[in-house]
Each structure stands twice: as C-alpha cells, then as structure tokens.
C-alpha cells in the first residue's frame, strides 16, 4: 500500500487522542468570564480535532507538546467566544461569505466531493461542523480587524517611506513576448545528441521554417507543424522571455529586434526560429501603481503586532479566568 505509513500514523493518532485528549472531569470549567464558559469537554473536542487534523495530513503530534497546544487551543476557544459577542450584523454577514469562499477553495483542492468529505471527517468533524468552524474562525478575524482598524491604518507618509525604502522591489525587468519553433540537437525519444549530419538536416529545416515565416505563413501553424518544443507547440510556440533569465544566444537577438521580426538563432539546445510579438521595456513601478498593495501590507504588519495586546485587553474586559492545569 503506497501510503501505508500515513494510515498507520492516523491509526496511532486515534490512540493518542484517547490518552492526551482524554479528561476525567469533562464538565469541569477551564475558562470563564462574561459570555465565556469553556469546559474540559470543549477543550477535549478541540484537542481531538487538532490531533486528527494533523494526523490526516501525515503530521505526528508528540505527547510532550500537550501542555503547549492545549493552552493555545484554549486561547483560540476563548477568543472565538469573545469575538462572537462583539460581532455586529455586518461582521456576521462578512464571516459567512468568507467561510463560503474558504470552503470552496479547500474543496477545489480535492479530486471529488467524496474525497473532500472523507478528509474532513478524518479530522473528527461533520461537514456541518466544519463549515461552522470556518465561519467561527472568519468571524474572530473580521471582528479583530474592524476594532483595530483605527490603530492599524497606514498613512500616506508610511506608504511613501516604505516605497522609498524598498525601491528595488518595484523594478520590472524587460520582457519580450515571442513565438518560436525549436529544432532540437537531441533525439526527442532517447535524449541522444545528434551527429553532424543529423544536426545539419535540422538546421536546414529551421532555415525552411524561417523562409516560410518571413513570407508571411501563419507562425502558429508553423509551430504546430515543425516545433519540437512539446510545451509550446500546441499554443503556437508562444513564450514570455525575461531579460537575464533566457538562453543567452536567443536573448542577445530578441532584445534588439522589433515586433514582427523573425530570426534564426542557434543555441546549445538547437535551432530556434523566433518571432517577436511584443517587447516591454524595463521600468520602475510608480507609487500610484503599488500604493494599495503597500497599504495592505503595512496594515497587516500593524495588525499582527497589535493582536496579542488587543486579545489581552479583551480578555481583561470580560474578566476571563483560566483554571486549566
């Protein structure tokens, strides 16, 4: 069985959840406060889901880490409760939309709906519970971002400073969109390097293709008929070349050519008949082009930095008391 080790790990994890996630006092309160009452049973379920989720992905959870992740999971349960209490109707609507998007995105990673459902159930959740969990997590994030928005906003000065401090990041290299036909110097089936006579025949074919292209024959048709580049021949031989990241022999010619020019170039790989479709010069992206992305980045960084302190304040306001041992 190809993935027997994963199935073994998953089977062992079931035993693991029965030991490190088991509680002798399921009704004991481990965290309480205004609007918050979390029992050992709640934490045990979160722990079980965590362990099974990791196991279903082939990741073992050492028992020695139990105290650490139990505390983390309890913090998550507390904050999910508190954020739900602070949510307004708009937050809830946004969370529902976000959860639907996340569910769809995760579903699309699997070959079928059945495969996805089996994966979810392997974590110990039903599909209904899984969707509810996605919405709960989305709601907690949305509420926190809304309440921290006044202190995480990026000013125009912040954006300008980041732009100037990271000027290399805005460089766009010169590119050329081309169509090409490749006649290889190697045998496509065996990888054997061709002998001189065989290479001469390939060169002659390349010269023939060049003549047809220069005469105005449709280049896409030429690529489909003659090109030995299997990755591009069915799409008309189209490639996007980036200055400094292409075959030197091809690059040297292409970046001196004008659109619709055709040339025959020899490289170590073979004989290339190349037609330039479009060239774009190197440039520096303007502040106006990237300011929105910079703003999002700066706000995200501020949010991450302020989040622990925000959570501490919210828990203090709710009088949260943790009795987890």
For the chain, give the mean pLDDT.
87
DSSP 56-88: HTT----GGGHHHHHHHHHHHHHHHHHHHHH--
Over residues 68-84, the mean pLDDT reads 92
* CATH 1.10.155 for the 4-156+300-322 domain, yes or no: no
- pLDDT value, residue 14: 39
- Do residues 44 and 73 lie in contact, with contact meaning Cβ atoms separated by under 8 Å? no
- pLDDT value, residue 198: 92
The angle, 0 to 180 degrees and rounded to 10, between the axes of the packed helices 287-317 and 127-152 is 110
- pLDDT value, residue 124: 77
Closest by CA to 275, choosing from 205, 227, 323, 204, is 227
**Cα 87 to chain centroid, rounded:** 29
CA 224 vs CA 153, 168, 227, 230, 232: distances in Å: 53, 40, 6, 9, 9
Each residue's pLDDT tens digit, 191-234: 899 999 999 999 999 999 999 999 999 999 999 999 999 999 88
Indicate if the alpha-carbon torsion angle 40, 42, 43, 49 is positive or negative: positive
Residue 140, pLDDT > 70, answer yes
Token pair belonging to 240: 């996007």
- Do residues 138 and 102 lie in contact, with contact meaning Cβ atoms separated by under 8 Å? yes
DSSP state of 274: E
Say if residue 48 is exposed, middle or buried (CB neighbours under 10 Å; 0-12, 13-18, 19+). Answer: buried
Residue 124 neighbours by CB distance under 10 Å: 19
Each domain of the chain, given as residue ranges in start order, spans 4-156+300-322, 174-281
Q: Going by C-beta distance under 8 Å and a sequence separation of 6 or more, which residues neighbour residue 193?
A: 185, 186, 187
- Do residues 209 and 273 lie in contact, with contact meaning Cβ atoms separated by under 8 Å? yes
User: For the domain 174-281, what is the CATH code?
Assistant: 3.10.50.40
Token pair belonging to 72: 């983390």
């Amino acid at each position: 069985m190809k993935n027997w080790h994963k199935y073994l790990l998953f089977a062992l994890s079931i035993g693991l959840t029965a030991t490190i996630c088991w509680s002798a006092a399921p009704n004991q309160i481990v965290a309480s406060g205004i609007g918050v009452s979390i029992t050992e049973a709640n934490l045990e379920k979160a722990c079980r889901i965590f362990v099974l989720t990791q196991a279903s992905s082939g990741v073992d959870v050492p028992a020695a880490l139990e105290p650490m992740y139990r505390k983390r999971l309890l913090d998550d349960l507390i904050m999910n409760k508190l954020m739900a209490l602070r949510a307004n109707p708009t937050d809830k609507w946004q969370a529902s939309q976000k959860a639907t998007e996340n569910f769809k995105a995760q579903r699309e990673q699997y070959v079928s709906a059945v495969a996805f459902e089996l994966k979810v159930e392997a974590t110990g959740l039903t599909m209904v519970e899984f969707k509810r969990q996605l919405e709960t997590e989305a709601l907690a994030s949305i509420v926190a971002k809304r309440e921290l928005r006044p202190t995480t906003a990026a000013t125009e000065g912040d954006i300008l400073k980041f732009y100037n401090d990271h000027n290399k990041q805005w460089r766009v290299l010169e590119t050329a969109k081309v169509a090409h036909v490749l006649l290889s110097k190697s045998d496509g089936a065996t990888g054997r390097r061709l002998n001189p006579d065989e290479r001469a025949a390939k060169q002659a074919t390349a010269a023939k293709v060049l003549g047809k292209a220069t005469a105005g024959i449709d280049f896409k048709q030429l690529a489909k008929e003659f090109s030995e580049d299997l990755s591009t021949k069915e799409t008309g031989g189209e490639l996007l070349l980036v200055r400094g990241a292409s075959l030197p022999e091809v690059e040297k010619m292409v970046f001196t050519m004008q659109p619709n020019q055709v040339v025959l170039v020899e490289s170590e790989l073979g004989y290339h008949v190349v037609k330039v479709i479009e060239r774009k010069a190197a440039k520096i992206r303007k502040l106006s082009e990237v300011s929105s992305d910079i703003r999002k980045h700066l706000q995200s960084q501020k949010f991450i930095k302020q989040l622990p302190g925000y959570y501490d304040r919210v828990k203090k306001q709710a009088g949260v008391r943790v009795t987890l041992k």
